[in-house]
A and B are shown apart, each in its own frame.
Chain A
Amino acid sequence: MVNQKEAAQPLLSIENLRVQFEGETGPIVGVKDVSFTVNPGETVCVVGESGSGKSVTSLSLLRLVEFGGGKIVSGRLYFRLDGGEATDLAQMPTERMIDLRGDRIGMIFQEPMTALNPVFTIGRQLTDGLRRHRKLSAAEADTRALELLKEVRLPEPERRLKQYPHELSGGMRQRVVIAMAMACRPQLLIADEPTTALDVTIQAEILGLIKRLKRELGMAVLFITHDMAVVAQLADRVVVMRHGEKVEEGPVERIFADPQAEYTKALLASVPKLGEMRGKPGPEPLRIPGQPEPVAPSPPTESATDRPLLSVNGLTTRFPVKGGILRRVVANLHAVESVSFELAHGETLALVGESGCGKSTTARSILRLVSPLSGDVVMDGQDILGLDPGELRRARRNMQMVFQDPFASLNPFMRLRKQVAEPMLNFGLAKGSELQDRIAFLFDRVGLPRDFMRRFPHELSGGQRQRVAIARALSVNPKLIIADEAVSALDVSVQAQVLNLLMELQAEFGLSYLFISHDMAVVERVSHRVGVMYLGRIVEIGSRADIFENPRHSYTRTLLAGVPIADVTQRTLKENAEFKPLPSPVFPVGQERPAPVYEEVSPGHLVLQND
């Protein structure tokens, strides 16, 4: 427990920290004279976009930044060891620093898949630190490790100690990483984006766990994140960073209610907040200060024939799992199971769900980038699954795709002009000056300067690349764009701009979107209708209002309950949140799952009855 006298003095005080990296053309400043403090028992969130220096700041505290080629050039990092005098970590000898790491200061990393060593058991990794810092015997360390696993509420802790990291799910691994960080009862826990790689329900569990441990053990938490919603749920105080500098600092309530810096205002405006679209008829672009007023897409056009643009019926895609010496098919991964939906002209249908639920495979099956096992896909009156390769090639002109990773979706060896021109040349849509005009038009339309046409992808930022990918998709005048997590890899402010662009383009060209996402708040912003996927099936589908305001299926409710809301007045984080882990979608050969039965609770709002 923290006594009053101690609480008055900061546990950690960073003064004018400056970190440089050696670049090819000279030193690059990663952190520019940043100062802030962390009091005992306090949660301070450092929030910022990529390149803001938030991670570098946290790594500097443990002097881990030195391993990444960085150097603490100036500044002081005062840390009050067990209520004693403040010592400057920046000046501490490396030997003492090693003693401190994992003992008085614990750290949780972003990627639970790589933060654990795959060749050692969980028990071994947990006890290492205890034996090193606490000089415990093997037996004592084992007992303590078990206690720790119980503390982080890992199911079946005795068994886990003997398991290897790959045998655990992502959420369980992150619990182990937290247990390791907590092992020596650190005074300060540094968490660097600990939930970014996790699904929403698991994120809610982990955030709840950190909150509970902080309260029970009275430790301070320095939480690094890009996610304003997480900040709103967890922080006592907030430090906003940008380009290596501190933009603003203050209590969380003040930052959200009355942000002072322009950047903070823009950042907050860029974050879609779950629930804020309640009662609104259609998708609505985000209003960002300093950006022109966005255009709202019009409601879906009623087609004269009253025929949906895309109609998917009973789509099933399975991947064989091979095993044994003969590499025979031993089981099937049921990625997509009897998925049916319709998409009208000018409409956005969002498919949401957690990783592995089959939403991406559904998209790829529609384009026949993977071969579905059965079902019907009818696009604009054409049966896609029955086409021969030549017909399929022509049919794909109407369906274009925008991918998640802006770094991988453009060919690094091709100039952007050529990449945007390629689809048009493939279909002989334009040539010569007409082609050049069209490329220039597309660059203008997605908000890229024309001189970018001669550039290569690596010269662009992630958001700009995603704009090129959108221009490329638009070039053939498609009727449907499948956006597969198209904004997930982008920073929030860039994400907001790209979302607005997508909505504008929809209004202008009457596009239909199949919008695949794991982010409920984003989905609420952009979609007319929403389908929730779980284990390869759509468990609930309906209008946006149906899903967000009147969720019927238990999984939809779970999903919505897990989403952190970027609103300090709505702290919904539960300390003991426990969600059912996702069951395996692998089934033995020949096992058929019963055909889905839906109940229509209101027109167009279907809920799966048998699962």
Chain B
Amino acid sequence: MRKFLSTKALIGLALVLLVVGIAVLAPLFIPPERATQMVMTARLQPPSFDFLLGTDQLGRDLFARVMLGAQTSLTIAILAVGMSIVLGLPLGIISGYYGGRVDNVLMRLIDALLSFPILLLALTISAVLGPNLQNTIIAIGVAFTPFLARIVRGEALRIVQMPYVEAARSAGTRDGLMIVRHILPNVMPALIVQATISLAFAVLAEAALSFLGLGTQPPQASWGLMIQASRQFLDLAPWTALVPGTALAITILGLNLLGDVLRDVLDPRAR
């Protein structure tokens, strides 16, 4: 437990709680129209008493938008990464554990998916299914699956060759139990690291999709959308990029710190 309560862990936990708190609570306190209300006389205003974090090119309050956008961005990122785990973990484990022909077929499939640029893949899925929140999640989730499956497979391949797996096999452990007891726990450290990194990329992927008109639909706010929109005004109004960018950085920092701690807590060797 000592390690779990380290400074690193506390900072990570505080940051993640802050962001999750905002995502959950912001819609209750900030009326949604605050984020969409355009004040044409106050476009690209620097932070002031009226607009705590300034306004964007349409005169919308960035404070309201970043607070309300938290929910959209986090929901998409967490569900998309969750989906890539649900798909990629079994694929990777089966591929690495059984090897041979199963592995060959599955990995060629994964390679085929990998050969598409992530964004193009997500774009295609999103375009086919139609642009809405749910489909954005599916698109990003599927696009991220091959990376996760690859990493899990690599770990599984290594673990299958460990003497403790051979010992369990000669002690009559069946495949199902072998995977649950011996392979899965040992894959977890690598999985957690990959998942936390993926969360950051998912937020950005959502932004890219939104920019292409397939992710979050304007005027609804998401961090990614805000970052994309700020591009043209970087010299005039850098805060339009800094506000959502900082929010994203805080989230990712918190998740990474927490991910490290989670990995240590799960690993009995580090306790």
Contacts and interface: CB of A to CB of B under 8 A. Distances in A.
10 contacts: A401-B170, A403-B163, A408-B164, A411-B185, A412-B267, A422-B168, A422-B173, A423-B172, A456-B268, A472-B171
Contacts of A404: 163
> Which interface residue of B163, B177, B186 has the most chain A CB atoms within 10 A?
B163
A488 to B, nearest CB: 13
B196 to A, nearest CB: 20
A472 B167 contact: yes
A426 B186 contact: no
Contacts of A413: 185-186, 188, 266-268
B191 to A, nearest CB: 13
A367 B170 contact: yes
Given A408-B163, A408-B164, A412-B186, A400 B170 contact: yes
A441 interface: no
Interface string B246-271: 00000000000000000000111101
Contacts of A193: none
Contacts of A472: 167, 171
Interface string B149-177: 00000000000001110111111111001
A383 interface: no
Contact of A469 (B167, B174, B181): B167
B43 interface: no
Contacts of B267: 412-413
B190 to A, nearest CB: 13
Contact of A396 (B172, B185, B269): B172
A396 B164 contact: no
Contacts of B188: 413
A159 B142 CA distance: 55
A427 interface: yes
B14 to A, nearest CB: 23
Interface in A424-475: 426-427, 456, 458, 469, 472-473, 475
B8 interface: no
A268 to B, nearest CB: 31
A410 interface: yes
A405 B167 CA distance: 12
Given A397-B172, A427-B172, A456-B268, A369 B166 contact: yes
Contacts of A132: none
A426 B173 CA distance: 6
A369 B268 CA distance: 29
Contact of B185 (A397, A400, A414): A414
Nearest to A409: B163
Contacts of B177: 426
Interface string A331-363: 000000000000000000000000000000000
B166 A396 contact: no
Contacts of A410: 164
A409 B173 contact: no
A394 B173 CA distance: 10
A369 B168 CA distance: 11
A412 B269 contact: yes
**Interchain residue pairs A-B with the least CB separation, the first 7:** A423-B171, A413-B185, A456-B268, A403-B163, A409-B163, A426-B172, A458-B269
B40 to A, nearest CB: 59
> Which interface residue of B164, B173, B174, B271 has the most chain A CB atoms within 10 A?
B164
Interface in B158-212: 162-164, 166-174, 177, 181-182, 185-186, 188
B271 to A, nearest CB: 8
Interface of B: 162-164, 166-174, 177, 181-182, 185-186, 188, 266-269, 271
A107 interface: no
B90 to A, nearest CB: 19
A252 B186 CA distance: 48
Nearest to A484: B163
B169 A458 contact: no
A483 interface: no
Given A414-B181, A422-B168, A422-B181, 17 more contacts: A367-B170, A369-B166, A396-B171, A399-B170, A401-B170, A405-B163, A409-B163, A411-B164, A411-B186, A412-B268, A414-B185, A423-B172, A423-B173, A426-B173, A456-B268, A472-B167, A476-B171
Nearest to B186: A413
> Which interface residue of B171, B182, B267, B271 has the most chain A CB atoms within 10 A?
B171
A423 to B, nearest CB: 4
Contacts of B172: 393-394, 396-397, 423, 426-427, 476
Contacts of A367: 170
Contacts, number: 75
B269 A456 contact: yes
B37 to A, nearest CB: 53
B268 A400 contact: no
Contacts of B268: 412-413, 456, 458
Contacts of A423: 171-173
Nearest to B166: A369
A277 to B, nearest CB: 30
A426 B171 contact: yes
A408 B170 contact: no
Contacts of B269: 412, 456, 458
Contact of A369 (B170, B181, B182, B185): B170
Interface in A270-313: none
Nearest to A459: B268
A181 B269 CA distance: 38
B174 to A, nearest CB: 7
Interface in A365-407: 367, 369, 393-394, 396-397, 399-401, 403-405
> Which interface residue of A367, A410, A413, A419 has the most chain B CB atoms within 10 A?
A413
Nearest to A423: B171
B108 to A, nearest CB: 14
A396 B170 contact: yes
B165 to A, nearest CB: 8
Nearest to B270: A458
B171 A409 contact: no
Given A413-B186, A414-B181, A414-B185, A422 B164 contact: no
Interface string A223-263: 00000000000000000000000000000000000000000
A367 B163 CA distance: 14
A518 B64 CA distance: 72
A422 B186 CA distance: 17
Contacts of A427: 172
A422 B167 CA distance: 10
A76 B182 CA distance: 50
A411 B173 contact: no
B85 to A, nearest CB: 18
A458 B169 CA distance: 22
Contacts of B186: 411-413
Contacts of A403: 163, 166-167
A472 B267 CA distance: 22
A393 B185 CA distance: 24
Contacts of B167: 401, 403, 409, 469, 472-473
Nearest to A458: B269
Contact of B162 (A408, A469, A476): A408
Contacts of B181: 411, 414, 422
A399 B166 CA distance: 13
A234 to B, nearest CB: 34
Nearest to B161: A408
A592 B170 CA distance: 31
A394 to B, nearest CB: 7
